[in-house]
Structure 1
Amino acid sequence: MRIRATLGVVTGALALSAVSVPAAQADEISGDTTISNISVNGGKAVVVGSTTYKRITISFTVKDDSGVENAMALPYYGTDLDHADSAALPNTSDYYSVCTAVDSTTANCKATYDFTPGENAINSVAGTWKLWVLASGKDGDYVQKENARSFKVQRLSKLTVNASPEPVKKGKTLTVTGKLTRANWDANKYSGYAGQYVKLQFRKKTDTSYTTVKTIKTNSYGDLKTTVTASVDGYYRYSYVGNSATPAVSAAGDFVDVQ
C-alpha cells in the first residue's frame, strides 16, 4: 500500500499536515477487507452556526477474515483528498477511528469531528462534502474509498416575520415584513441572504396547516416585504425551502387579529 508522506490542506486556522494516507486517489482494494454501514452525523446534514463549532460522529463497520487492524475516515471538500479545499480531522490522538471488536472478523469504528466557523468551515466550502475512508486487516489486506459517502455541510439559516398593523380591520391592507439570514462563517456573524425566493404562508386560527399566499424575493440585504388583504384571524409566516449550502427554515407564525 503506497503512503503519502504528508497531507497538506490549510483552510483558515486548520492545517492537516500530520496525517499519512495512501497516495492513490482512486478507490483501492487488496484482499477481503470491507467497509459498510457508514453513517455521517446520523444521516443528517451538518448545520453550523456563525460562531460555535458543530461536533459530529462518523461511524462505520469494518470486516476482514483475519481481524480488523485499524481504520481512518476523513471528511473533506474538493475534487479528491489530495486537492481538498477543507477537511476535518478526527478528535483522536493518532487520527484513527476507535474500533471496537464485534467478533473475530468484525469491528465497529467511529470518531468525532469538529466543524468550526472561520477555520475548516468557511463560506466557500458550504455544500456537498465527501468522506475518504481507509480500513485494513491484520493480514495486510485493505480497502480505500475516495468518496465512501457524500453529505451536506450547511450555513445555519434564520427567518423572521412581522405582520402589521395589529389588530386590523377586515378588508384593510396588511404589510408583512421579514428577513432571511444565514451564518457568515468568514465574519462570525449572521448576514442577509440576498436573491432568495421565500414563500409567504397563512394559517387560519382554526386550521392546523399553512397554505402559500405568494412567493417573493429577498433584496440585497435579505429583507422581505409584501402586502396582503386582511380577511380572517390567523397566522402569517415566511418559509424558505433551502439549498445544498443552506437548510430550510420557517419563521414562527405571527398572529393577526382581524376585526
Structure 2
Amino acid sequence: MRTGRTGSAAVLAGALALGAFAAPSAEAADTGVKVSNLVVNGGKPIVVGTTAEVTPKFSFHIATPSGTKVSDVTPFPFLYHDTTPAKAIDSGGIYTGFTECGDGPRAADCTGELTVDPRYRLDSTNDATAWKVAVWIRVWTADDKLKGEQFLTGFGTAQVKRAAKVTVDASPEPVAKGGKLTVTGRITRADWARHTYTGFAGKAAKLQFRKAGTSTYSTVKTVSADSAGALRTTVTAAADGYWRWTFGETSTTGGATAAGDYVDVK
C-alpha cells in the first residue's frame, strides 16, 4: 500500500500520515468527494483521563465523483475546537489513528478510530467541551501526486469529557445492628492542565445500599462533596450489605460509581 493512500480494504495509519504531510494554508477547492453518515464514538461522549490513551471509533460512507476511485482518496476524520480545520491539522486537534474503507470503486463504507492521548492533546479544562467534527480529504493521481484536497465540515460535534473517580469506605466494620455507620469517600476528576486527578468540589453523589443476597442497589441519601471533593455522612446499620457512592455525568465530566464496600452487621 502506498503511504498516505487508501486502497481496496486498506488500512490507513492516519496519525502517522498527518505528520508526514504539511497542512494546506487555506481550504482547497471542491474535490467532489462526499462523506455522509459520519458517527463518532457511537454518538456518545468521549471520556478521557490523565494518562491512558483513548481510541474512540468512527464510521462513515464515502462517495467519489466520476474519474476518482475510493482508492485514490485518503479521508482523515478529526476533531477540533477554538480554531479552524486547517490550523487544527498542525496543532490542537484530535486525529485519526487509522481508517479502513471497503472495496467499492466509487463508494464504500469506512471505519476507523481516533487517538486521544491526554498528555499531548488535552492541556486545559477548557478542552472538556463540544469538539467540531471534520474530514480532511486528499485525492491522489495514479503516480502518487496530490491532485486535490479539501476540508469537509458540518458533521456536528463530539463531546469530550473529563474522566471522574469516586471512592468509598464504610466504618466501623463490623458494626452492631442499629449502630451508626460512617460512610466516606472522595470524588476526583481529570485535571488536564496538571495531568492528575483533583477534587470535584460541590458535586452531589448518591449513597446507595445493596442488602447481602440481593442484586439491586437503592439510594439512601444524596450528599454534596466539600471543597476538596470529600464525601461524608452517617447512617443507621440495619443489615449486612454493600455501600457505594455514585453520580451521573455532567456537561464536562463523566459519571462514576465506586465498588461496593461490604459491612457485616452483628
Q: How high is the TM-score relative to the length of structure 2? A: 0.75
CA drift at 1:228:
0.7
Q: Which amino acid aligns with 1:126?
A: A
Rate the CA distance shift 1:255–1:60 in 2: closer, same or farther, 3 A: same
Rate the CA distance shift 1:21–1:112 in 2: closer, same or farther, 3 A: farther
In terms of fraction of residues, the more strand-rich structure is: 1
Report the equivalent of 2:13: none
- Residue 89 of structure 1 pairs with residue 95 of structure 2: yes
Rate the CA distance shift 1:101–1:200 in 2: closer, same or farther, 3 A: closer
Distance in 2 (alpha carbons) for counterparts of 1:245 and 1:188:
16
Q: Verify the 8 A CA contact 1:117 1:186 in the aligned structure 2.
A: no
- Once the two structures are superposed, the pairs formed by residues 124-143 of structure 1 within 5 Å of their partners are 124-135=126-137
Structure 2 alignment gaps of length 5 or more: 1-18, 142-146
Report the equivalent of 1:72: 76
Q: Verify the 8 A CA contact 1:58 1:110 in the aligned structure 2.
A: yes
After superposition, give the CA deviation of every residue in 1:158-212 in whole Å (9 maximum; x if it has no partner): 1110111111112111110001111222212111111101111111113211111
Rate the CA distance shift 1:143–1:34 in 2: closer, same or farther, 3 A: farther
Distance in 2 (alpha carbons) for counterparts of 1:141 and 1:106:
18
Report the equivalent of 1:45: 45
Q: Verify the 8 A CA contact 2:163 2:255 in the aligned structure 1.
A: no
- Residue 18 of structure 1 pairs with residue 22 of structure 2: yes
User: Secondary structure at the residue paired with 2:126?
Assistant: helix
Q: Which amino acid aligns with 1:170?
A: K
CA drift at 1:100:
3.3
Rate the CA distance shift 1:188–1:249 in 2: closer, same or farther, 3 A: same
Number of aligned residues:
236
User: Secondary structure at the residue paired with 1:228?
Assistant: strand
Identity of aligned residues (%): 37
After superposition, give the CA deviation of every residue in 1:117-156 in whole Å (9 maximum; x if it has no partner): 2422122201322211244788999985424142222222
Which moves more between the two structures, 216-225 or 123-132?
A: 123-132
Which moves more between the two structures, 213-222 or 43-52?
A: 43-52
Q: Verify the 8 A CA contact 1:40 1:59 in the aligned structure 2.
A: yes
Q: Verify the 8 A CA contact 2:61 2:110 in the aligned structure 1.
A: yes
Which moves more between the two structures, 229-238 or 33-42?
A: 33-42
- Once the two structures are superposed, the pairs formed by residues 166-205 of structure 1 within 5 Å of their partners are 166-205=173-212
Q: Verify the 8 A CA contact 2:27 2:150 in the aligned structure 1.
A: no
- 1:151 pairs with 123, 146, 158, which one? 158
Distance in 1 (alpha carbons) for counterparts of 2:224 and 2:130:
25
CA RMSD across the alignment: 3.2
- 2:216 pairs with 209, 215, 221, which one? 209
In terms of fraction of residues, the more helix-rich structure is: 2
CA drift at 1:101:
4.5
User: Secondary structure at the residue paired with 1:124?
Assistant: helix
Distance in 2 (alpha carbons) for counterparts of 1:247 and 1:228:
27
Distance in 1 (alpha carbons) for counterparts of 2:86 and 2:30:
19
Distance in 2 (alpha carbons) for counterparts of 1:127 and 1:22:
25
User: Secondary structure at the residue paired with 1:38?
Assistant: strand
Distance in 2 (alpha carbons) for counterparts of 1:176 and 1:151:
37
Report the equivalent of 1:221: 228
